Amino acid sequence: MRAALNPYKLVAEQHLHESGSADMRMIPIAAAVWLGAFCGQAELNHTLRYIVAIPLATVVLCLPALLLGACYHQNCSRIVVSRKMCRLLIWCRRSAPTVVVMLAACAASTGASVAWSTVQRSDPAYQLAAARNSTNSTIIRVLSPITVSALRSSTCRADVRVMSVQQHHQGAIAMPSRLRARIVGDDEVCEMRRGAEYRIVVQLSISEFDNGVQLEAVSPATRSSVSIVSEPHILWRVTNLVQQRFLAISSTLSEQGRVLVPGLTLGVLGQEAVAHTGQTFSTLDPAYAEMVKDQFKRSGIMHLMVVSGGHFLLLSSLIHTVLKGLLLHRAVIAGALVFGACMLTAVVYPSDSVWRATTMSVLGALAVLKGRRAQVLSQLSWTVVLLLLSNPHLSTSYGFALSCAAVLGIVTVGSAITSICERVIGSFAAGQLGIAVGAQMFTLPIQLLMDPEIPILSVPTNIVVAPAVNLATIFGLLALSTACFLPKLAYGCAWLSSIGTSLMYDCAKWLSDTEISTMTWLPGWQGVILMLLIELLCIAIVISLHHITTRRRCLRDQAGNHEGIAYRRSVRSSVLFWIRESIEMFEW
């Protein structure tokens, strides 16, 4: 007679062998929060409503079955059940709480998103912008550095927060506001500084690109139309000074260095940065700067010109290694990691990917404080949950989606590819291959929504430029940190960084000129779904081949053939052996 299988004993045994670094239990919760925030943000049409309602209805219908399976624990340990039935009960027991939490998280996220949208649309500045009122006197606080505007009707732009708005006529009352907006204009707008508050006469409107509020300074801008209300805080004054000094030093480099070194270090291309005098730092040819930008896009390495987790990882590794070598308490190390992440966030140009990297760095510092290893998947999931609940607008941001998808692909697919290929091509090359392939697989469907073109040579390009990227980033950050105190040393570091960016420029220039650099794809959701199916098919083929080879090996061992696996020297060991033998051969 078969012994009874207790499913809950099997669950306990599985938890004992579960790896914390591979814990994916928070990923469905983060996905549910993202879905709820997106549903609350977007004005969904009828088709999209049905698309969103289908998975929600499926979850609701499956919930009673999962709860019944989870409640079947009273007599389960007393009867004899099959192994398949045990696995089904285990799955029901483990899935029911997850589904309940997913529904609660989705509902909370949807409520927060709807409340956030309601508050934004009831703001006086938004209502005046929707009514397209003529001119209004506003008090704004500048939240980002000034950059070159992409609109032909204006020169500069910046992200601001509207503090108050007043219609431009006698007897009008100033109404308080807390709305985030974007201001565009000429002259006086270009001379604004981050962190300062200004009173300016603008025209409010709704942007046609992102449905956000846009402030357009009255033309022509005069001294009387702009007046400063309060100076920037000391932190923003220091930050502005560091950025201006670094950009001034970068403007003395070669042409490609003037464009790429600020992009790699600060997240803004050299031709897009604006000085406090209202002029651009570098006198670059606009056609050349646009050509460099297009070449990086076609070769698939444009993401290197955006500050992401790589900068924070380098800084955190340096701080952790130095302070751990000094045998300091982990509370001091965690505090230094948080301080370093906050300072880097303040210095670089703000973006959605920067906020994602900052939040993950702070969560990693909390892991150091508790004396535990960092769990990237859990950090990413909690980052998505916290940021989307605090700012649901990020659910519609391409930059935030690309950043999260890249991290998820690197941790899941990239680590698996690295472990498979490291015996053949070496650990460093396998690591770069895993990072490039993992990030490309998860970000490609999102990229197709933005531009229906596939950068075919993106993976080999990222592998080739990977060593130069790390060195160029390190020297760029060193130049940024010494720009105010040691300008000559900062110039030397910036020049060394430009050597690394020259390799990226040469690779992008050579690969983008080939006919196979990009391939046109189906636009819209059809292309995204087709690409997802192709990627799933490739993953299924790889998994099937892995199972086939593993089964053949097991069958060979069961047949009594215990000859083992033939030794195969890796490429790295072969090259090192060849170099050593060559040196010994030419010795006298």
Rounded Cα–Cα distance for residues 572 and 550 (Å): 26
Rounded Cα–Cα distance for residues 257 and 250 (Å): 7
Torsion of CA 58, 59, 60, 66, to 10 degrees: 120
Q: How far is CA 158 from CA 147, 149, 180, 184, 393, in A?
A: 6, 8, 11, 7, 18
Mean pLDDT estimate for the chain: 78
Given a cut of 90, whether residue 396 has pLDDT beyond it is no
Residue 136 is encoded by which pair of tokens? 């209004």
List, as own/partner pairs, every contact residues 170-177 make where C-beta atoms lie below 8 angstroms and the sequence separation is at least 24, other chains included. Answer: 174/137, 174/139, 175/124, 176/124, 177/123, 177/124, 177/125, 177/138
Cβ neighbours for 117, distance < 8 A, ≥ 6 positions apart: 40, 41, 392
- Which of these, 203, 120, 209, 131, lies nearest to 168 by C-alpha position? 203
Q: Is the torsion defined by CA of 117, 121, 122, 125 positive or negative? A: positive
Calculate what percentage of the chain has a pLDDT beyond 90. 5
Q: What pLDDT, on a 0 to 100 scale, did the predictor assign at position 301?
A: 81
Rounded Cα–Cα distance for residues 10 and 56 (Å): 30
Given a cut of 60, whether residue 48 has pLDDT beyond it is no
- Which of these, 570, 225, 276, lies nearest to 420 by C-alpha position? 570
Rounded Cα–Cα distance for residues 194 and 233 (Å): 9
Q: What pLDDT, on a 0 to 100 scale, did the predictor assign at position 496?
A: 92
Residue 27 is encoded by which pair of tokens? 């990923």
Statement: the pTM of the whole predicted model exceeds 0.75: yes
Burial class (CB in 10 A: 0-12, 13-18, 19+), 161: middle
Residue 216 three-state SS: strand
Residue 208 three-state SS: coil
- Which of these, 322, 309, 409, 403, lies nearest to 364 by C-alpha position? 309
Of 12-16, 88-92, 314-318, 542-546, the one with minimum mean pLDDT is 12-16
Q: What pLDDT, on a 0 to 100 scale, did the predictor assign at position 130?
A: 81
Residue 90 is encoded by which pair of tokens? 């285990």
Q: How many CA atoms lie within 13 A of 192 on its CB side?
A: 37
Q: Which residues pair with 164 in a beta bridge?
A: 139, 176
Q: For the residues 294-313, what does the mean pLDDT come to? A: 83
443 pLDDT tier (thresholds 50, 70, 90): confident
Cβ neighbours for 263, distance < 8 A, ≥ 6 positions apart: 269, 270, 304, 305, 306
Rounded Cα–Cα distance for residues 303 and 504 (Å): 12
Calculate what percentage of the chain has a pLDDT beyond 70. 78
Q: What pLDDT, on a 0 to 100 scale, did the predictor assign at position 358?
A: 92
| In contact, 517 and 274? CB cutoff 8 Å | no
Per-residue pLDDT tens over the stretch 309-351: 888 888 888 888 888 888 888 889 999 999 999 999 989 988 8
Q: What pLDDT, on a 0 to 100 scale, did the predictor assign at position 1?
A: 43
Of 148-162, 378-392, 508-522, the one with minimum mean pLDDT is 508-522
Q: Characterize the bridge pairing of strands 175-185 and 213-217.
A: parallel
Per-residue pLDDT tens over the stretch 237-288: 999 899 889 988 988 888 888 888 898 888 888 888 887 665 555 567 778 8
Q: Characterize the bridge pairing of strands 136-142 and 197-206.
A: antiparallel
DSSP 175: E
Of 83-87, 141-145, 212-216, the one with minimum mean pLDDT is 83-87
